Structure 1
Amino acid sequence: MEEVKQPELESCAEVECCTSTSERKSHHSEQTKKNLVTRLNRIEGQIRGVKGLIEKDTYCDDVLTQIAAIQSALNGVSKILLEGHLKNCVVERIQEGDMDVLDEFLTTIQRVMKK
């Protein structure tokens, strides 16, 4: 599996994320959404490939290597989302005086790092 280069995230002016209203949404730029969807489509294909390997009774070590590549690719998606969330959503909510966002972010980091 080839390693995917991670593009730089857009500046705060280009990405608005996780508004602090009761209905929180992320508002990623079209470029960011396209990048994430492309990565997820690739991951989806990798998962189908692993399924095929298992169906063909492929040697376990080879299957595990492919699974490790999938986990790495998912971690790449998480890193992009976490960086955007911190640089935009968390900063915006702190500027609005919502300090509870720090506990929320720390909980998210703990959840992501368990993987």
Structure 2
Amino acid sequence: MAETAAPHGYIHNKDEYLKRLRRIEGQARGLQRMVEEEQYCIDILTQVSAMTKALQSVSLGLLDEHLSHCVVNAVAAGGPEADAKLKEASEAIARLVRS
């Protein structure tokens, strides 16, 4: 759901998130290069694991921001928006657990 009343909770850390995502983008390019150069499988898997952990870290940070900003504000306001934000957060957590 798009947040229209106020900026997203992560906005105060936007530059940090962008920095981390650019680093992950670099890791993905490095993985492509490793495969192109036919490097050792275990070395590639080690880098995949590092990239996965980096993505999980970004995901957990964004989830925390969502809970502490979007969900808290919606619950404080009450009404159907609160239920929608809680359901949305629960579904996001379920997707993260499955991944």
The TM-score by the shorter chain falls in which range? 0.7 to 0.9
- Tell me: CA distance 1:111–1:25, structure 2 relative to 1, closer, same or farther (3 Å): farther
| Structure 2 runs not aligned, ≥5 long | none
**Residue 99 (structure 1) shift:** 2.2
Deviations 1:5-50 (A, max 9, x none): xxxxxxxxxxxxx6365xx862511xx0110000001000011001
The equivalences for 1:37-52 within 5 A come to 37-52=18-33
The number of aligned residues is 94
Verify the 8 A CA contact 1:90 1:102 in the aligned structure 2. Answer: yes
| Structure 1 runs not aligned, ≥5 long | 1-17
Among all aligned residue pairs of Structure 1 and Structure 2, give the percentage whose two residues are the same amino acid: 36
TM-score (norm 1): 0.75
TM-score (norm 2): 0.86
Verify the 8 A CA contact 2:8 2:69 in the aligned structure 1. Answer: no
What is residue 82 of structure 1 aligned with on the other side?
A: 63
Whole-Å separation in 2 of the counterparts to 1:50 and 1:77: 19
Aligned residue type for 1:72 = K
The structure 2 residue matched to 1:53, chosen from 34, 40, 51, is: 34
Higher helix share: 2
Whole-Å separation in 1 of the counterparts to 2:7 and 2:73: 13
Over aligned residues, Cα RMSD in angstroms? Answer: 1.7
- Structure 1 segments of 4+ aligned residues over 4 angstroms from their partners: none
